[in-house]
Amino acid sequence: MFQKSLILVLMCIFYSFLPAEETEQPPRKFNIFPIALYNSDIGFGVGAKTFFKNYFKKRESFDVTIFASSKGQQWYAFQFSIPDFELRQGQLYPLAFDLRIEWDKLLVSNFFGIGNNTPDNNFQFPREFFRLNPVFSHSFTRRIIAELGYQFTHYVVYGYDLNWGTITEDTPGAQPHKVSFIFGSLRLDTRNSHINPSRGYRIYLKSGLSRQGLGSDWNYTLYRLETSFYRNIFASRHILAARIWLQDISGTAPYQELSKIGDGWTARGYKADRYLDKAMVLTSLEYRFPLYHPLGGVIFTDAGRVAENLTSLTFDNWHFNIGWGLRYYLTTFLARFDMGISSEGMRIFFNFGHVF
C-alpha cells in the first residue's frame, strides 16, 4: 500500500508542477471502443476502452480499459502519460512520466513446464495479478531516449491439481508472491509514429533486477535487446514490419516472469506461456495493408525458441506459426485481432496496439 501511495503522490506532484505548453496546443481527442467477443476459454466478453488526450492542455493522455466475461475473466487497466506517447514521438523533451496500473484475473491459465520441448496439456487453473508500473524518461536527442522505471507485481495462482504432475508446490511462482523490479532502458527510435509506424527503426536495450531488498520474493536479473524495422512497400499504406528479440535472465525468477514463446505478443500460433525458460530468441515478420478505412489487415509469421541460457540458443527446434489479422485504426490507438496457426492448432488473440 505504501508503494502505491508513494507513486500516486509522485504523479500528482509531477503533473501539477509541469507547465502548460506555450506552443500551439494539439487538439483534444476522445475515443471509445466497445469490446464484444466470444472465446471458448473465457466465454462471452464485453467491455470498453476509452482514451482521452490533452483534455487539461498539458499534452497528457488517459487510457482506461474495462473488460469482463461470462466465465469470470476480469481485466482493468489504467494508463497515464505526460506527454502522451504519440505527441512526444520524435520530439525533444526534458522529462516524461508514464504510469500503468493493471489487474487481470484469468480463469484458464496454463503451465507446461520449463524448457523448449515441453509437452502440450489441457490442464487449466485460475491466475490473477495486480501490477503497478511507473516510468520516467528523458530524450537526449529526438531519437535517443533513456528510461528509468519500477514494476511491482503481485501474483496469485490457485486451483491447480498436484496430480497433474506439471506444476508442484515447489514450482517457482506456484505460491502467491511479489516481484519488485527496477529497470533502465535506452532506445534509439527513428519511427515516424508510435501508434502506427510506416518507416524507421527502433533499437531497445533494457536491463533490470529483482531483489529481496526491494521487497521482492525473487532475486534475478534481466537483459533484453529488441529491434524492429518498418518500411513502405507498393504504396503508402502498405507496410512491411520485422522484429528480432533476444532476452536472458540470470538468477531465480517465477515462471510468470521467464522468457516465453507463445501468446498474443510473441508467437501467436501457440497457447499463452507455451514454452518458458530463462533465454529466448524471437523473430516476427508482418505485412500490413489497408482494407476499408479505418480497417486494415495483416499477414504475419513468428518463429523462436527458448533455452536455459543465451549460449544454448541454436537454430534447431524453433517454433513457427503463420497467421492473419485485422486492425481497426482510431486516431489515438488501434484494436487488434490475430489468428495464429501452428503445428499445435489455431489460437485467437484480441488486444490493442501493434504487436511491435
Q: What is the pLDDT of residues 46-102, one digit of tens each?
A: 999 999 999 999 999 999 999 999 878 899 999 999 999 999 999 999 999 999 999
Q: What tens digit of pLDDT does each residue of 290-337 get?
A: 999 899 999 999 999 999 999 999 999 999 999 999 999 999 999 999
Q: Give pLDDT, residue 8.
A: 54
Question: Which of the residue ranges 10-14, 153-157, 184-188, 212-216 would you say has the lowest mean pLDDT?
Answer: 10-14
Q: What is the pLDDT of residue 2?
A: 44
Bridge partners, residue 179, by sequence: 153
pLDDT, tens digit (0-9, with 9 covering 90-100), for 9-31: 455 545 544 544 445 789 999 99
- Annotation: CATH topology of 2-352: Porin (2.40.160)
* pTM of the model as a whole: 0.90
The pLDDT, as a whole number, for residue 105 is 95
What is residue 23's predicted lDDT score, i.e. its pLDDT?
58
Residue 208: CB atoms within 10 Å: 17
Compute φ and ψ for 104, nearest 5 degrees. Answer: -140, 125
35-43: long-range contacts, CB 8 A cutoff, minimum separation 24: 35/67, 35/350, 37/350, 39/69, 39/348, 39/350, 41/71, 41/108, 41/124, 42/69, 42/70, 42/71, 42/73, 42/106, 42/107, 42/108, 43/69, 43/70, 43/71
The reported pLDDT for the residue numbered 299 is 98
Q: Which helix (H) or strand (E) holds 143?
A: none
8 A C-beta contact, residue 267 and residue 241: no
